[in-house]
Amino acid sequence: MASESGCSAPLLPAGSSHRRATGGWRSALFIIWVEVAERFAYYGISSNLISYLTGPLGESTAAAAAAVNAWAGAASMLPLLGAAVADSWLGRYRTIVASSVLYIAGLGMLALSSMFSAPQTQQCTLSAGGQRACSSSSSLQTAFFYVSLYLVAVAQSGHKPCVQAFGADQFDTMDPRESSSRSSFFNWWYFGICASATVTIALMSYIQDNVSWGVGFGVPCLVMMLALAVFLFGTKTYRFYDSSNGQGASIFACAAVVLNAWRQRRSTEGGALAEHNIVILEEVRSMAKLFPIWATCLPYGVVFAQPPTLFTKQAATLDRRVGSSSFQVPPAALQCFMGISMITCVVLYDRVLVPVARRFTGAASGITMLQRIGTGMALALAALVVAALVEMTRLNTVRDAGIVDQPDAVVPMSLWWIVPQYVLLGAADVFTMVGMQEFFYDQMPGALKSLGLALYLSVVGVGSFMSSFLISVIDGVTKRDGGTSWFADNLNLGHLDYFYLLLGALTALELLAYLYFSSSYVYNRKNVDVH
């Protein structure tokens, strides 16, 4: 039964007599495959979006990078609203279905927008400062494109937090065997989406660069339709949770009770109400102590925003031929190395690191969730240092080859130079991103699990907004009075190395603050084995 507070209701399956026929890996596999398909659709758009903006739409590198970051930020922040709607009203299952329909509509409109009269004959010139000046694209095409793009972001608001929370709900933490499986669920969940992202980026970036953007945006729409069909097919295997007796108003009930308790804080009347309010304020306090952890994770969100934007533009300048063949790897496809790193690290983490660490710590999860997050932050710092060194080497190579003023010239430098930064950041994601998923899901009250996962997504969202803001400000400051932007369209004149070093400094400060707050954090649940 849900608690009357609607804020800390334990999740008990409705119809527990059917427990053996529902839930567990049987249901989770359906849900994982749904997420695999959804990630195919998402990365089919996001991984190469900067190429579309700087190509057919004719935007500058700085403007395109800022626009991609802003959209990614919206897509990652809106789940806070979607999770609240799911936890407080619709429920996760219905929210997933509704969001999937909206997702399909947005993707279909996106494919349609790319079929408008595209400015293929645009005349673009580069100024002495390395900025591109192009004839304007169709205002109708641009407007329809951005409306479609943000419709996808709105669809993500309900889909992203609810699918993962609904998958984790299929495991009962009160059952020792299922509790252990739930921890593995987060690892294999991430394995699935990394594998999907790797295949998507390799396939769709090639189609978009060499076939057409219409097909490149249309295929994700078809895949998302398949995802909805798979999800509906597994309905009879899912465990659904009782939303009666107040749980359906969970987050709003919490807010109302907190406000009421504040108004009556000096009143001694109503013992039952006072006791009820004390419980809720305790719940609010347990959520409030998550804020320092959330805040110190934000710079990692900024780092996370770089691979589909500036890393991709950086890769586009390199020699991307494979061996002696004439085939060139699409710039966005180099993100596959990040996916391969993630897949490899998930397997090594789950099958090697955890069993070894378990012998020393005695914890079922090997290392704590917070230790896992901190390890990823350190790896992200290493990735930024490597990225800065590679960019310095690239600029020196450009000067030595005498092609500084030739933005379309291929830099005589192999694509393998840029691979290490993708590999390191992929490993960082396995630690930090998966750690945040499990941490925020685990530490939120039972009725607000979707909101917990939305909280982890908001780290990526706020980080993307911060990246967009930093790029816009730095671009404006560095090209003031005729100067050259760090993000010049002719990257041979820019200084991405300075930007990576700046992010490295912010990440180092973040890591110190994180270590301070995480060292004193006390887990909410007494039965958490990482205590």
Residues 223 and 281 in one domain: no
Residues 193 and 210 in one domain: yes
Q: Average pLDDT of the chain? A: 81
d(CA 225, CA 155) in angstroms, rounded, equals 13
d(CA 110, CA 205) in angstroms, rounded, equals 16
Residues 223 and 364 in one domain: no
Sign of the alpha-carbon torsion through 266, 269, 275, 281: negative
Q: For the ranges 179-193, 269-283, 361-375, which has the lowest average pLDDT?
A: 269-283
pLDDT of 279 above 70: no
Taking CA atoms, 259 is separated from 51, 286, 357, in Å, by 48, 17, 45
Sign of the alpha-carbon torsion through 161, 167, 168, 172: positive
d(CA 23, CA 167) in angstroms, rounded, equals 9
In angstroms, the first-to-last Cα distance of the chain is 28
Taking CA atoms, 394 is separated from 50, 412, 432, in Å, by 21, 9, 29
Q: How many CB atoms lie within 10 A of CB 135?
A: 10
Average pLDDT over residues 58-74: 89
d(CA 160, CA 166) in angstroms, rounded, equals 10
Provide CB contacts within 8 A for 474, sequence distance 6+: 485, 486, 487, 499
> Is the residue at 12 inside a domain?
no
> Is the residue at 416 inside a domain?
yes
Sign of the alpha-carbon torsion through 206, 212, 216, 219: negative
Contact (CB, 8 A) for 8 and 247 = no
What backbone torsions phi and psi does residue 17 show, to the nearest 5 degrees? -65, -20
Residue reference for tokens 């084995």: 529
Q: What is the pLDDT of residue 225?
A: 93
Q: What is the pLDDT of residue 12?
A: 44
- Give which of 507, 398, 485, 501 is closest to 66, Cα–Cα: 485
> Is the residue at 182 inside a domain?
yes
- Give which of 48, 56, 52, 99 is closest to 78, Cα–Cα: 99
pLDDT of 56 above 70: yes
Contact (CB, 8 A) for 379 and 341 = no
Domain range holding 82?
19-119+137-240
Residues 212 and 326 in one domain: no
> Is the residue at 224 inside a domain?
yes
Average pLDDT over residues 152-178: 81
Q: How many CB atoms lie within 10 A of CB 460?
A: 24
Contact (CB, 8 A) for 6 and 250 = yes
Report pLDDT digits (tens) over 307-336: 988 999 999 999 998 877 778 899 988 989
Domain count, the chain: 2
Report pLDDT digits (tens) over 78-118: 888 888 888 778 888 899 999 999 999 999 999 998 887 44
Report pLDDT digits (tens) over 4-27: 333 333 344 444 445 666 777 878
For residue 80, count CB atoms less than 10 angstroms from its CB and return exposed for 0-12, middle for 13-18, buried for 19 or more. Answer: middle
* Higher pLDDT among residues 249 and 476, named by residue: 476
Average pLDDT over residues 32-48: 87
Residues 61 and 153 in one domain: yes
Q: Can you tell me whether residue 175 is helix, strand or coil?
A: coil
Contact (CB, 8 A) for 458 and 80 = yes
Q: What is the pLDDT of residue 61?
A: 86
- Give which of 503, 490, 339 is closest to 419, Cα–Cα: 339
pLDDT of 260 above 60: no
* Token representation of residue 214: 């219409």
d(CA 394, CA 416) in angstroms, rounded, equals 12
Q: What is the pLDDT of residue 219?
A: 93
Average pLDDT over residues 494-499: 95
**DSSP secondary structure letters along 426-458:** HHHHHHHHHHHHHHHHHHS-GGGHHHHHHHHHH
Residues 236 and 290 in one domain: no
Q: Name the strand (E) or helix (H) holding 43.
A: helix 24-46
> Is the residue at 124 inside a domain?
no
> Is the residue at 126 inside a domain?
no
Q: For the ranges 135-139, 391-395, 456-460, which has the lowest average pLDDT?
A: 135-139
d(CA 323, CA 414) in angstroms, rounded, equals 10
Q: What is the pLDDT of residue 276?
A: 52
Report pLDDT digits (tens) over 392-444: 999 999 999 999 999 889 999 999 999 999 999 999 999 998 889 889 888 88
Q: Can you tell me whether residue 130 is helix, strand or coil?
A: coil
Q: What is the pLDDT of residue 474?
A: 95
Provide Rg for the chain, Cα atoms.
Answer: 24
3-state DSSP: the chain helix, strand, coil percent, rounded to 5?
75, 5, 25
pLDDT of 200 above 60: yes
d(CA 437, CA 444) in angstroms, rounded, equals 11
- Give which of 217, 52, 68, 90 is closest to 153, Cα–Cα: 68
Q: How many CB atoms lie within 10 A of CB 289?
A: 15
Residues 349 and 217 in one domain: no
Residues 329 and 202 in one domain: no
d(CA 472, CA 479) in angstroms, rounded, equals 11
Identify the DSSP state of 487: T
Question: pLDDT-based confidence at 131, cuts 50/70/90?
Answer: low
Name the amino acid, one letter, at 505: A
Residues 511 and 470 in one domain: yes
Q: What is the pLDDT of residue 249?
A: 41
Residues 164 and 298 in one domain: no
Residues 23 and 68 in one domain: yes
Q: Name the strand (E) or helix (H) holding 49.
A: helix 49-54
Contact (CB, 8 A) for 30 and 230 = yes
**CATH number of the domain enclosing 409:** 1.20.1250.20
> Is the residue at 383 inside a domain?
yes
Per cent of the chain over pLDDT 70 is 80
Residues 221 and 198 in one domain: yes
Q: What is the pLDDT of residue 176?
A: 66
Q: How many CB atoms lie within 10 A of CB 362?
A: 9
**Alpha-carbon dihedral 160, 164, 165, 167, rounded to 10 degrees:** 140
Q: What is the pLDDT of residue 265?
A: 53
> Is the residue at 332 inside a domain?
yes
d(CA 139, CA 120) in angstroms, rounded, equals 15
d(CA 422, CA 386) in angstroms, rounded, equals 10
Q: For the ranges 232-241, 328-337, 377-386, which has the lowest average pLDDT?
A: 232-241
